[in-house]
Amino acid sequence: MRPEDRKQELIDIPMTVDVPYRFAAGKYMTKFLVELRDNGKFYGIRCPVCKRVQMPPRIVCAACHVKNTEWVELGPEGTLVGFTIMYLPLTDPTTGKPHEPPFSYGSVRLDGSDSVLDHFLNIEPEVEKIKVGMRVKAVLRSPEQRVGDLSDILYFDPIPHQ
């Protein structure tokens, strides 16, 4: 408050804005979500010019401004390229419930992909146990529980050294 502030009842008006949406996934995201849901597979798409494989698949390669053309199956194994241990009870806006902290959270480059995916890591939330560069594998919900959302991935499991 500024110094000149005086004692006065200051009125506030709480208000909840609740806007409903029905989002269409569109042609490219639909393929990704349906393959994940029905077949447990990850699909990216390759740019015909720079050959970059992008996930999620999308209509245009932003770097080349051309239409992406070639579907590529990716993963399910990948490499951890960044991580954090989350101590904040971040709310899942689609359920209204928080993800219970602390939890390990990371950025994974699926094999065959030039993109990364942020998701939960099934690793104890201790810094020493997580390393950039470690190999991980996606663990999915059982087929009947999958809905076509990234939450169909439960988390990434570390792959023990072979």
What residues from 7 to 46 belong to the interface with other proteins (CB under 8 A)?
Answer: 8-34, 45
Q: Does 156 bind other proteins (CB under 8 A)?
A: no
Number of residues that bind other proteins (CB under 8 A): 76
What residues from 51 to 70 belong to the interface with other proteins (CB under 8 A)?
Answer: 54-63, 65, 67-69
What is the distance between the terminal CA atoms of the chain, rounded to a whole angstrom?
61
* Residue 72 CA from chain centroid, whole number: 19
- Residue 134: other Cβ atoms inside 10 A: 19
Task: Show the tokens assigned to 56.
Answer: 């999620």
Q: Are strands 77-86 and 103-110 parallel, antiparallel or unpaired?
A: antiparallel
Strand partners, 158: 136
**Pick from 94, 100, 142, 161: which binds other proteins (CB under 8 A)?**
94
Residue 10 or 142 having the CB closest to other proteins: 10
DSSP for 41-57, please give it: -EEEEE-TTT--EESS-
Q: Does 96 bind other proteins (CB under 8 A)?
A: yes
**Pick from 124, 127, 129, 143: which binds other proteins (CB under 8 A)?**
127
**Pick from 40, 73, 77, 115: which binds other proteins (CB under 8 A)?**
115
Count the residues in the chain. Answer: 162
**Pick from 41, 79, 81, 112: which binds other proteins (CB under 8 A)?**
81
Q: Does 100 bind other proteins (CB under 8 A)?
A: no
